[in-house]
């Protein structure tokens, strides 16, 4: 899989928020943006397709969000699970949409 670089313009409040989360959990700016984008993808796909149920519990995410510090292993595990579940959700939507082919 080839990763591409995109330039995205953020409002000041978005930048401040992403920096707050990045500093709080000792993560890179890019990682925080990717995780938040994946969470948005999960939310949107679950809204569009109520029958779709990712293997990720809201209670688990809330518990992690309330944790003041995550060790590196726990943070990596959480981020990997969110990215994996978002990818599965996108594949599910592609399977439901006509004319959309996976690469």
Looking at the domain assignment, is residue 52 inside a domain? yes
Domain assignment present for residue 1? The answer is no
| 68 part of a folded domain | yes
**Is pLDDT of 17 > 80?**
yes
Supply the pLDDT for residue 99.
Answer: 62
pLDDT at 100: 61
Render pLDDT for 32-90 as a digit per residue (tens, 0 to 9): 999 999 999 999 999 999 999 888 877 777 777 677 677 778 888 888 989 999 999 99
Domain membership flag for residue 7 = no
User: How many domains does one find in the chain?
Assistant: 1
Helices (H), ranges, 1-103: 12-24, 29-48, 58-66, 72-96
Per residue in 5-16, pLDDT tens? 889 999 999 999
With respect to residue 32, please indicate whether it lies within any of the assigned structural domains: yes
In a domain, 4, yes or no: no
- pTM for this entry: 0.81
Instruction: List all residues 6 or more positions away from 56 whose beta carbon is below 8 Å from its beta carbon.
Output: 42, 81, 82, 85
The domain containing residue 51 runs over which residues? Answer: 12-96
């Amino acid at each position: 899989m080839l990763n591409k670089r995109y330039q995205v313009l953020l409002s000041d409040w978005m930048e401040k928020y992403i920096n707050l989360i990045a500093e709080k959990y000792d993560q890179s700016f890019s990682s925080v943006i990717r995780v938040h984008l994946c969470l948005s993808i999960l939310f949107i796909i679950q809204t569009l397709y109520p029958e779709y149920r990712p293997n990720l519990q809201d209670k688990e995410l809330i518990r992690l969000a309330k944790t003041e510090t995550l060790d590196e292993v726990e943070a990596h595990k959480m981020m990997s699970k969110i990215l994996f579940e978002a990818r599965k959700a996108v594949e599910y939507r592609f399977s439901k949409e006509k004319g959309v082919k996976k690469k």
